[in-house]
Amino acid sequence: MSLCGLGPCDCRVVPVDDGLQVEYWQQLFATDPAASLSRSLPVIASGGMHPDLRVTLWPLLLGVLPAGSSKSEQDTLRSQQRVLYTDLLQRLRSSQAKLEQEYAQQGGTETWFLTHKRILSDTFRTEPTSSFYNTECREARLAILERILVAYALTDPPTGYCQGMADLASAFLQVVWRDVPTDPLPTYDAVLSMPVGEANQSVLAEVEVFSLFQALMESRMRANFQITGEGMKAQYHELNRLLLQVDPKLHAHLARCAGDHVYSFRALLVLFRRELTHDDCCAFWEALWALERQLDRKLQLHCIIGVLYQNRKEIMRSRSSLEEMLRLFNDLPKTADAKSLIAGTRLVLNLERRKTRGS
């Protein structure tokens, strides 16, 4: 699906709280394709985007495709991505002994058998109540998710697969599959056997999901899933430093009652994927990515502190143990949404700027 370069050009100003709408994006692209993404970032950062735009703009926001690239350039890159994806899956046709040897030589921290077993187990349990999977296409859609996770583990053996990665990949699968026919869904043999120039929509969509998931992992999330836990420990350390900078009193209170911020583990690990509905999570992610592109820095820790600051009075008054802080974050599905999380992130950014200027 392409939404680029259609419609008249008047580039009217739209309310940012409505998010980026299809018509406005078309107008921006028609005026100046090379600058259309950068000009749309403030709108996306404030209100997300229309769901129909995600399949076009998420590859740009995540760097899968360069902003301002032409259709021919994007087609070339997508062909390369498909070759990479099919080459990875082709390795599954090797003997088990060869696959195990290659996986170990490339830095796998466990056997391929165990990695693949955990992928199969977690895939089967992914979002059991989601309407996306509770259809007659359930098995085929879970098989696509499995292939994507297998391909990622093969391209990054030191990370392999850890619990939580299925949640991230599933979000991309649901976004891309909005515009894909439900029947027939691609099979493993179909993905491998179809010539690059003849790939159908469902095969191309599967490759797109893999490319988006790989980009998210490499640019933002990979360290979260290090088997040593060092990536999460580093984030707790930085979270502690940032909280001390913006709110010393809240920092001191939490240091007494909640230690090293493990209450935020799940929200940090999968970027609020389990705290928000699918639609809210997508709106939050795209707004966050746009804000990060504007500021050229990662802001997931600001999001966590935003939640703390928005609940500051309650925390200071009645949250005096790790169990109570865990309960606060476990209750986020009832209290948080995309707009509140982005508002909290911006609030922390403003506090940080004030503290920096005052120091």
For 180-222, write each residue's pLDDT tens digit. 766 567 788 877 776 666 667 888 899 999 999 999 999 999 9
Phi, psi of 42 (to 5 degrees): -60, -35
- What is the residue-level pLDDT of the chain in tens, covering all 359 positions? 333 332 323 333 333 457 999 999 999 999 999 999 999 999 999 999 999 999 999 999 999 999 989 899 999 999 999 999 999 999 999 999 999 999 999 999 999 999 999 999 999 999 988 999 988 889 999 999 999 999 999 999 999 999 999 999 999 999 999 877 665 677 888 777 766 666 678 888 999 999 999 999 999 999 999 999 999 999 999 999 999 999 999 999 999 888 789 999 999 999 999 999 999 999 999 999 999 999 999 999 999 999 999 999 999 998 889 999 999 999 999 889 999 999 999 999 999 999 888 76
Alpha-carbon distance 148 to 208, whole Å?
A: 10
User: Is residue 49 helix, strand or coil?
Assistant: strand
Single-letter residue type at 27:
Q
Are the beta carbons of 304 and 224 closer than 8 angstroms? no
pLDDT digits (tens, 9 = 90+) for 34-77: 999 999 999 999 999 999 999 999 999 999 999 989 899 999 99
Whether 231 and 268 have beta carbons less than 8 Å apart is answered as: no
- Give me the amino acid identity at 222: R
Dihedral, CA of residue 154, residue 157, residue 162 and residue 164, to nearest 10? -60
Residue with tokens 């993905």: 191
Q: What is the spatial distance between Cα 114 and Cα 111, in angstroms, rounded to a whole number?
A: 5
Tally the C-alpha atoms within 13 A of residue 349's C-alpha that lie toward its C-beta: 16
